[in-house]
A and B are shown apart, each in its own frame.
Chain A
Amino acid sequence: MGAILGYPIYNLVRISLEKYGLFELIRHKGQYIGLHNFGLVLHDPVFWHTLLRTVVFTIANVGLTIGIGTLIALLLVRVSTLVRILVMAGLVLVWSMPQVVAVQVWDWMTNFQNGVVNYVLTELRVGNYFQHDWYATTFSQLSLVTALIVWEGLPFVAITVYAALSQVPADLVEAAEIDGAKPWRVFFDITVPIVKPVLLILTSLSILWDFGVFTQPFLLIGQPHLHPGNYLMGVYLYEEGYLKTDFGRGAAISILMLLIVAAMSVYYVRRMVKIGDVD
């Protein structure tokens, strides 16, 4: 199995050191050019701008998903059983939506002419959103993508954190309260330590997922509106490497991206190996 998984990686490295375009694809043979592709990518301002944009985007997405997800989990502890079942069912329904389907629905909801979002915002007196074009600016486009990703990501975070919260021993909380501990002391000294490992794993997972995101920005922003000014790493890679059939340079970008992801996932992988290695 290691071979099945290792083979694409080996090829990735090989292609990144070669001139590999459409001509080479047909001949099935690239031309070795050393680190030239990496030089091209690292001297390309688009790469650095995209990287910075993706980092900011990832921080925003992860922060919102984990933050709101945890709040929802805390809410779930406080509501009545009936409401909890209702919210849980809603979360699971959202969780089960395929990405491409979710994109189409959000595209329809934010349509400038008949989009229900514009109507609701105008009716709620948030401002005049009549025929507001959500796809006009890069910031607005990426905010929409963020909203979509957070919406899709919330159920997993909320349900997982809730599961962890329900492991907090009730008698421990009760004892602390009887001893006169303030609610915030109970929260930070009892609840947080128990939930922390789960939150750390969720955060590292979310960072990895959101950094490499492709489907949502690619489809929601839409191909005609994609340009170097609103690329995220996944889209950048697709457009520059695959669409322009410059596989050598694309492979170099992939390797740089995978190295960043690998560096970020060290914590998560080490932790999971540790958990997985106990019998």
Chain B
Amino acid sequence: MTARTARRTLWNAVGVLLFVVMVFPVFWMVSTAFKPDDQIVSLTPTWLSLHPTLVHFGDAIHKPFFWVDVRNSLIVVCVTVALAMTLAFLAAVALAKYRFTGRKLFIALVIGIQMLPGAGLIIPLYVVLAKYHQVNVLSGVIITYLTAVLPFSVWTLRGFILGIPKDLEEAAMVDGSTRLGAFVKILLPLVAPGLVATSVFAFISTWNEYIFARTLLNDQSRQTLTVWLSYFLGTSRHTDWGALMAASTLTAIPVVIFFLLIQRKIAFGLTAGAVRG
């Protein structure tokens, strides 16, 4: 029994150590963001400043184009998510409820497209969007994100819809409800949590997206927040680490909040199928 307790204590210690190592970069970002400059550039690091300051956050948000690019990010994300959810929901219902020829091919396409590396698609996207004058405008990026987000959304939503017992819908129809009525009254409320989870996931991936935004948007006033953040280093020879970490923290906050909300569902959505097979 004592050997067992000792082993448990050892594993717990390893667990705590692992936590410290994994979380350290995030801690260091936040810690640096609140630190006065002399503590940031000191050769002996200060782990947690006793004199926290908000000055770096002020510097970060007053940098040129910060607010413009925040607005751009929000526009791109909101429009993409709204459009993607509407289209994906309809596609997912069709995919889950009705058999149609080429269904297998469709699933393969959805997953296959999801697997393609983004870098491999920048050239055709750039050329095609340039042809329709969609380079350097937000609508071009929104179209691009739609093609990237749709497959995943269809796939996850389909999983949620499949989870609803067919009998439930049939029961509603037997009770005299029309197909549309059954759909609105039974299917929609049951899928709502899945819809929320999928849209939050779409929100996160579009908010974080970098390579397409970088290649398709050239003007600083038209860029998204991640591109703005990536150019931060290049603005001067001497990097303002405090402001950079404050800006990084600000960029990460919305994602962290949303991520914590849906993490369980997404982890489930990704693994449910895998475990079942």
A235: shortest Cβ distance to chain B, in Å?
Answer: 8
Interface presence of A51 (CB below 8 A): no
For B179, what are the chain A residues with a Cβ–Cβ distance below 8 Å? none
Structural contact, A164 and B40, CB atoms closer than 8 A: no
Q: Kindly state the separation between the CA atoms of A79 and B13 in the bound complex, as whole angstroms.
A: 9
- SS class of chain A's interface: helix, strand, loop or mixed? helix
B202 to chain A: closest CB distance in Å?
A: 15
Q: A2-B106, A11-B127, A219-B230 are contacts. A198–B25 as well, Cβ < 8 Å?
A: no
Please, how many angstroms separate the alpha-carbon atoms of A108 and B241 in the complex?
7
A116 within 8 A of B: yes
The smallest beta-carbon distance between A190 and chain B, in angstroms, is 15
Name B9-57 residues within 8 Å CB distance of A: 11-12, 14-16, 18-19, 22-23, 25-26, 28-29, 32, 40-45
CB of A55 closer than 8 Å to a CB of B: no
Q: Tell me the smallest distance from the CB of A150 to a CB of chain B, in Å.
A: 11
Render B99-113 as a binary contact track against A, CB cut-off 8 A, 1 for contact: 000011011110111
From A232, which residue of chain B is reached at the shortest CB distance? B119
A93-B26, A254-B121 known; A83+B116 contact, CB < 8 A:
no
24 A-B contacts, Cβ less than 8 Å apart?
Answer: A2-B106, A2-B109, A8-B128, A12-B121, A15-B127, A87-B15, A87-B18, A93-B23, A93-B26, A93-B256, A96-B259, A105-B26, A108-B245, A119-B43, A155-B22, A163-B267, A163-B275, A213-B117, A247-B127, A254-B121, A254-B123, A265-B115, A269-B111, A277-B104
3 interchain residue pairs of minimum CB distance: A212-B117, A96-B259, A234-B119
Q: Interface on A for B, CB 8 Å cutoff?
A: 1-2, 4-5, 7-9, 11-12, 15, 20, 25, 28, 72, 75-76, 78-80, 83-84, 86-87, 90-109, 111, 113-114, 116, 119, 151, 154-155, 159-160, 163-164, 167, 197-198, 201, 208, 211-215, 219, 222-223, 233-235, 237-238, 241-242, 247, 250-251, 254, 257-258, 261-262, 265, 268-269, 271-277, 279
Given contacts A5-B147, A214-B117, A251-B124, 4 further A-B pairs with CB under 8 A are A79-B11, A104-B29, A108-B244, A273-B107
